[in-house]
Chain A
Amino acid sequence: DTAVSQTPKYLVTQMGNDKSIKCEQNLGHDTMYWYKQDSKKFLKIMFSYNNKELIINETVPNRFSPKSPDKAHLNLHINSLELGDSAVYFCASSQAANNEQFFGPGTRLTVL
């Protein structure tokens, strides 16, 4: 059974479009995250949510908006996509008590 799942796995789109990435975890965790991995493999936090409440909102353009409808889901919506948004986006989840973050398989976003 998949612990943290993301859809889609690959996303190719044109500049200016709006797209969403979905994330679901079935681990019963109360905290979820979005990380961005750039072309040099550097991983950086974007957002974190605990019990549907936004905890971390790093310096990310307003075009990125996370939404957590419940504890098991954290979606990422991106407006007006730009070339520089091309990256791999990872969703993760953890229990607040130990912060062992388990990652989804990643979504490779390519903006043309």
Chain B
Amino acid sequence: AQKVTQAQTEISVVEKEDVTLDCVYETRDTTYYLFWYKQPPSGELVFLIRRNSFDEQNEISGRYSWNFQKSTSSFNFTITASQVVDSAVYFCALSEALQAGTALIFGKGTTLSVSS
């Protein structure tokens, strides 16, 4: 069965601190895809990144970086020099090999609060 675990329910940091959001997944598939989404207080879901199981290279996009390690079934997300605008709920998600209509299996989310 597929499962995504985000053990950190809530994290609070002060601006400019670095913060890492953990994501651990379970799947029997050899081909799968991992995602991160951001849900700010306004409520919309914003796509951040998609990673496939064959690509373990880390990715950096501005202050955001992702560390994918198949050996530990983890796909962690780091925000460098956090800002108040980073305050949101962050969801990690998993999907099986791509077939039309495949659902995303979401973790329960991590609420990040960044104070000034």
Physical interaction between A and B: yes
Which one, B35, B99, B103, contacts A96 given CB within 8 A? B99
Residues of A within 8 A of B99 (CB): 96
Of B89, B103, B108, most A-chain CB atoms within 10 Å: B103
Nearest neighbor of A30 in chain B, beta-carbon distance: B100
**CB contact list, A85-112 vs B, under 8 A:** 88, 90, 92, 96-106, 108
Nearest neighbor of B111 in chain A, beta-carbon distance: A41
Residues of A within 8 A of B109 (CB): 41-42
Return A77 CB to nearest CB of chain B, in Å: 19
The range of chain A's interface size is 20 to 34
Q: How far is the CA of A105 from the CA of B100 in the complex (A)?
A: 23
Residues of A within 8 A of B101 (CB): 31, 33, 48-50, 55-56, 96
Q: Are the C-beta atoms of B44 and A106 separated by less than 8 Å?
A: yes
- Residue A67 is within 8 A (CB to CB) of chain B in the complex: no
Q: How far is the CA of A40 from the CA of B16 in the complex (A)?
A: 29
Given contacts A96-B100, A97-B98, contact A44 B43 (CB under 8 A): no
- Residue A83 is within 8 A (CB to CB) of chain B in the complex: no
Which one, A44, A90, A98, contacts B45 given CB within 8 A? A90
Interface size on B, residues (CB 8 A): 24
Residues of A within 8 A of B35 (CB): 100-101
Q: How far is the CA of A8 from the CA of B34 in the complex (A)?
A: 31
Q: Are the C-beta atoms of B103 and A100 separated by less than 8 Å?
A: no
Residues of B within 8 A of A104 (CB): 44
Q: Are the C-beta atoms of A55 and B100 separated by less than 8 Å?
A: yes
Q: How far is the CA of A108 from the CA of B44 in the complex (A)?
A: 11
Query: 7 nearest interchain CB pairs?
Result: A55-B101, A45-B103, A50-B100, A48-B101, A96-B100, A103-B45, A43-B106
CB-defined A-B contacts under 8 Å, sample of 26: A31-B100, A31-B101, A33-B103, A40-B108, A41-B108, A42-B109, A43-B91, A43-B104, A45-B104, A48-B101, A48-B102, A50-B101, A51-B100, A56-B101, A90-B45, A97-B98, A98-B50, A98-B98, A99-B50, A99-B104, A100-B47, A101-B35, A103-B46, A104-B44, A105-B44, A106-B43
Q: Besides A41-B108, A102-B47, A103-B37, 12 other CB < 8 A contacts?
A: A30-B100, A31-B101, A33-B103, A35-B104, A42-B106, A43-B91, A44-B106, A55-B101, A96-B99, A98-B98, A100-B50, A101-B47
